[in-house]
Amino acid sequence: MNNSTIDSTFYAQSGYDYVNIKNTVFEDINIKSTFPLIEGINLKLEYILNKTSNIFHGNYCGYTISNTTFKNITLKNSIPAISDSAFSYFIITNTEFRDLSLLGSLFYEDSSYKLTNIKLSNINTNSNALLNFIYKDVFINNLESENISCYGDDGDSSFLSFDSGEEKRKLTINNLNAKNMKLNGSLIKIKGQSSEVIIENSVITNITSYGSLINYSSIKNKVILSNLEFTNNINNNKLDCGGIKLSHDINLKISDSIFNDNYSKSDGGVLCISNITNIELDLTSNTFIKNSAINGGAIYIGERYLNNKDAMNSVTIKGNQFLKNSAENFGGAIYSDYDLLHFLDISESEVTLNKAGIMGGGMFISNISQNETNSIKNMAFTNNTVNSYINDYSSKPSYIKLNSTITNKNITSGKHLPLTFVLYDEFDNIIEDITKYYSSITLRVVLEEENSTMDDYARNIKLDYNLIGNIGSFSKGICELNKFVIYATPNNYKLKVIIDNYNEDIQLKFDDIEIVVNDCWDNQIKMYDSKDILYCVDPICRDDCPVPNAAVCIAGYNEKINNIESNICQCLPGLKGDHCNIKIFVDYSNLFSTYSDYLGCSLNFILRHTGIVLFLLIFYIINTINYELGNPYIIENNKGYLYTSSSLDDISIFNTEEATKSKNRENKKHKNIDKDSEYYLPMNIKGYLKKVKGKGSNEAISIKNEKEIKKIKRINSLFFEMIFVYTSLIVFICIITTLIYKTTYNVNMKDNLNIVQGSNGHWFYKCELENYDLFINLAEIIIMGVILIEGSKLNYYENIFKCTRYVTASIIICILLGPLINVISYSLLQNQRYLRVFFDTLTNIICYFLVFIIFSWDKIYYVFKKEANDPSKYFILKVHIPCRKHNSTCCGCGLSIQRQEFLQLIRKSIDFYRIYSSFFEIIDRKLIFVNVGSKISLLDQKVENF
């Protein structure tokens, strides 16, 4: 066709025509008029077009295009390349568009489209959008696009544009494969009042755009992205954030998708959400790897739109992986500036090896509530960094704490008052601020009189104080005012903190600091500055005065003069000499139970505890033997009188058949003997053992009842057990002293660590064994408790020695005045050495003296009464009803036997005790062990003579 063609090749207006073009070539078509090549209503075409231009024109048409290729088309006007039909319906399948150079789009915007199995390649356009759809639902299935260039106006030249208009419209894209494209706008741009967009099973890769690749700017957006592979895409527009951008009312669900190696010159390497009115965000089972941006390497959530505190918001981040994403400033993986953020579910997600340049290697959330901070900690954060420092999550500065403990709020003017403040984020992390981003934040301390009524202007005019070093900044989250000095007239003040150079709110989590500026202390010198404000200084002494470690400098004058020559260098308590380097030790000359070196300490430790344990074991043996050989008695109460049975048959040593027969023989033999005569001779154990040569009779063992054999064996076992325990204790104590000497003594002596100063200033040697001494004292108290419990049971026994009562009384005294006192003095008097030694010694002497009196008073008393040989004074044979004459229940008066017989029975009982408790005897200069057989034979011999 030549240039003179001014009309259409085919024109149909009826709307019911069918045109079949086969084996036809349209060449060299260059239409300059407004008439299309083919024009018709409801026209159906089957064709392959080559080197052509605008094909279809006509409104309200229905088009079905399939198995078609459009290629090598150059269009120099802005009309749509394929059709400019409005209000029509297109079904296009199995069609390819390639090698096109256009100034406009492919189709007119105001029609309905259903595209299936479409291929677009090697297309250049200057249009606002290559595919432009408005006001209609659009369905696209299996769309491949490659090497598309949209070079229209910056930020407004997109591959696909969808405008829903005033009504809700839906765009559905399935199996989109877009790659190797350069766009001056977005890949997909969504506009309108209310849009629903579904993109599934799609791949978007190697796209470079000047703006977000998928831009949802509708007022209300419902978006579903599923099984999407979004990789190696770049947004070069610094003013348009994200690879995928949404705003306003957002309902977004992304699942089972991969976002790798995407980059944004603005915020949000993958996802950017801004100007939020409502947000419902659901991210489930997605992967975000190596994405980068200015803030929010993977996800950026901006501020809410206007001040809508009633906005709906919920965020679910479940089962996602954020790996190796990076942000130039904040939030290596995730950034949020949305102050109403609410997490419905944030679990099973991993945030690993992400990094940020300033804060929040893994996540940065500027505004968040306490409940949400706890939710975020449920995510798995691992090795997220800021400049190689671990910083998993953070927020902007939230609050400041005072990290100084002011023990004394009473100070003098001119006194240093060091203060330390710590800056925290919403997660209670100290804001390390490695890059010094917040270094401009200034903390200033001001002084205000308590109950002051002056306004700021008047206070600035009338300054009766001067503050030095009261301004500081934060370094690694800490502001230290180490040189803070207050010059003020004596009064009550408050220190207030003011934050400068920061526009956000930072909470001060401490009260105003109340201080009292007093007049100068006794040893301070009053000075006055240029404003005639009083301040106090400490006196200065000569350089060789060891202040403050060993001496104190005493002021020579009270006011205005601080002169080295007039001030006095005075040694601290416990030191003396010209340079206060000679220690004054505790004077032990009046005490004997002490030590000044490790040898004395170890000897004291060994001898004291082996001695105490020895007499405790003796007490235990005494009580145990009496417990084994004694008999419990029953106390009855009848008409107000206390009495027991007067029978002797229940005493074990007299209840055998042989003992009863012997008793009758003895009574008959001695029936004419005077009752006061002494005819009982104690048994000669040595003689008997010498006679049998220390060997017991097996026959004797066989005839003795089993009960007595068990008693003998228990007592024998007790004896050897106590020997073993005592020997083990000695070995244990010796091992402890040796090990301490080997491990700590030499080191401590080298550094003088054992020489410590008491509370009175005097020095003393502190032994390492004192710590072990405490535990052994506690063990001794436990042993005493065991003996006391056993002794309390013997209060209701007969056929026992009275000394068991003394053992119980002695144990009570020992608990109160023995090791318990040592434990108390160790806890309360550690640094008062002289008082501790004196206290321990005095109470222990009283304890041992009382024990001596308890065990010896009756012997001395009965010697004076000439009753020392009366065994009834030391032995309780039988408890009976109280005797009015002797005021006793064990004197024998209440028994139906004569006095002499009563005494004989006691002596015989004592012999039985001797037999049971005999373990070794020296016979013919040989140490003979008294075995069980020997004791049984002795018992039988004793019974026969009874």
Q: Give domain status of residue 508, yes or no.
A: yes
Q: Give domain status of residue 432, yes or no.
A: yes
Tokens 């009758």 identify what position? 664
Alpha-carbon span 457 to 460, nearest angstrom: 5
**Rounded to 5°, angle at Cα 144 from 53 and 169:** 85
Q: Give domain status of residue 571, yes or no.
A: no
Q: What is the CA radius of gyration of the chain?
A: 53
- Name the domain boundary from 309, 327, 342: 309
Question: How long, in residues, is the chain?
Answer: 946
Q: Do 523 and 429 belong together in one domain?
A: yes
Among 83, 72, 85, CA closest to 25: 72
The two tokens of residue 638 are: 């009848």
Q: Do 502 and 645 belong together in one domain?
A: no
The two tokens of residue 474 are: 């934060």
- Name the domain boundary from 504, 536, 568: 536
Assign 942 to helix, strand or coil: helix
Q: Do 95 and 205 belong together in one domain?
A: yes
Q: Do 611 and 757 belong together in one domain?
A: yes
**Rounded to 5°, angle at Cα 145 from 144 and 147:** 150
Backbone angles phi, psi at 839, to 5 degrees: -65, -50
CB 855 within 8 A of CB 848: no
Q: Give domain status of residue 692, yes or no.
A: no
CB 377 within 8 A of CB 407: no
CB 679 within 8 A of CB 915: no
Alpha-carbon span 227 to 101, nearest angstrom: 33
The two tokens of residue 596 are: 């000044």
Q: Give domain status of residue 558, yes or no.
A: no
- Name the domain boundary from 274, 309, 344: 309
Name residue 64's beta-bridge partners. Answer: 91
Q: Give domain status of residue 698, yes or no.
A: no
Name residue 327's beta-bridge partners. Answer: 293, 356
Q: Do 425 and 298 belong together in one domain?
A: no
Alpha-carbon span 262 to 861, nearest angstrom: 106
Name residue 591's beta-bridge partners. Answer: none
The two tokens of residue 132 are: 């432009």
pLDDT means per 10 residues in the chain (946 residues)? 52 57 59 61 49 66 83 80 80 89 82 89 87 88 91 82 87 92 89 89 93 87 92 91 88 93 93 86 93 93 71 82 93 86 78 92 82 76 89 88 85 86 88 84 88 55 74 89 87 89 87 86 79 82 83 80 82 80 67 70 84 88 87 60 42 46 48 43 58 52 62 82 87 85 64 67 75 84 89 86 89 86 80 78 87 88 85 81 75 75 83 78 70 68 52
Q: Do 259 and 153 belong together in one domain?
A: yes
Q: Do 511 and 627 belong together in one domain?
A: no
Dihedral sign (CA 843, 847, 852, 858): positive
Domain span holding position 404:
399-536
Q: Do 526 and 624 belong together in one domain?
A: no
Alpha-carbon span 753 to 782, nearest angstrom: 33
The pTM of the full predicted model, rounded to 2 decimals, is 0.56
Backbone angles phi, psi at 368, to 5 degrees: -160, 145
Q: Give domain status of residue 942, yes or no.
A: no
Q: Do 725 and 810 belong together in one domain?
A: yes
Alpha-carbon span 4 to 496, nearest angstrom: 90
Q: Do 444 and 305 belong together in one domain?
A: no
Q: Do 659 and 790 belong together in one domain?
A: yes
**Rounded to 5°, angle at Cα 924 from 922 and 928:** 40
Assign 181 to helix, strand or coil: strand
Q: What is the DSSP code (8-state) at residue 761? A: S
Alpha-carbon span 697 to 939, nearest angstrom: 12
Q: Give domain status of residue 945, yes or no.
A: no
CB 813 within 8 A of CB 839: no
Q: What is the CATH number of the domain that holds 409?
A: 2.60.40.10
Query: Backbone dihedral region of 766: left (phi > 0), alpha (psi from -120 to 50 degrees) or beta?
Result: beta
Counting the structural domains of the chain, the total is 3
Q: Do 504 and 604 belong together in one domain?
A: no
Among 505, 518, 494, CA closest to 445: 494
pLDDT of residue 14: 55
